[in-house]
Amino acid sequence: MIRPDADGRLRVEAPMTLENARPLLQAGEAALRTVLRAGEKKCVLEFSGVPRVDSSSLAVLLAWQRLCRTQGALLCLAGAPENLRSLADLYDLNLLFEWA
């Protein structure tokens, strides 16, 4: 679902849809906590392996971002599918995220 890669990024490799929002949220929080405990101040999530997204993905992203911010870290979203960016734009959330 989420795994670290050789570049130090966390790769999200599951649909970001309502059906798996809760397990994805929990997996992401666990992975981010591991990165944050290591002292990282920039957590990069790679989304190029995400096959589908829906609006529930925004709630998951906001929760992950909140976790990073409480630890003084920046959450950076890389390789995001265009429809994820479009959803963020639709809900006027694009400026809340760091896109790479």
Q: What pLDDT score does 3 carry? A: 94
Spell out the alpha helix ranges (H) of the chain.
Answer: 21-37, 56-70, 82-90
Rounded CA separation 31/73 (Å): 14
Q: What pLDDT score does 69 carry? A: 96
User: In the chain, what are the domains?
Assistant: 2-99 (3.30.750.24)
Q: What pLDDT score does 28 carry? A: 97
Mean pLDDT of each 10-residue bin along the chain, 100 residues long? 93 96 98 95 96 97 97 96 96 94
